Amino acid sequence: MAVSAGTAVAVPTSASILPRAAASCAYPYVCLFKDGLKIGQFQDVTTDWQPLPSQPSGTITITNTRLDDTAHIRFSTGSTICLPPEYTIDVAGPLTGIRISTAATC
């Protein structure tokens, strides 16, 4: 998925949905996976970016299990994407931050 500067809306395709990863991410978390292993999970709604403990790179799977909250993901380039509620998507890192919003749509 190419991401341009600014905020892009993530529109996952059926090929990017990974039931195995989604099953291991409990509600109400937004989880990050690398090579099938969970490398982070976030729950707090914030107005500022939450830094990631590391800057994961390569293919990262992000699962948003929240029912009515969006997850915004920031890349090292400054680009961002918005992940709608109940979606899983694969992205190419490195990632630098996450922000969970109470907005129900991107």
pLDDT at 93: 82
Residue 105 above 70 pLDDT? yes
Cα-trace Rg, the chain: 12
Question: Residue 90 belongs to a domain with what CATH number?
Answer: 2.60.20
How far, in Å, CA of 13 to CA of 89, rounded?
8
**Per-residue pLDDT averaged across 71-91, rounded?**
95
15 Cβ contact partners less than 8 Å away, ≥ 6 residues apart: none
- The helix (H) or strand (E) run that includes residue 60 is strand 59-64
Range of the domain at 45: 7-101
Residue 44 above 90 pLDDT? yes
Backbone angles phi, psi at 19, to 5 degrees: -55, -35
- pLDDT category, 14, cuts 50, 70, 90? very low
Residue 1, domain member (yes or no)? no
Residue 51, domain member (yes or no)? yes
Q: What's the total number of domains in the chain?
A: 1
Query: Are residues 32 and 60 in contact, defined by beta-carbon separation less than 8 angstroms?
Result: yes
How far, in Å, CA of 11 to CA of 37, rounded?
23
Residue 44, domain member (yes or no)? yes
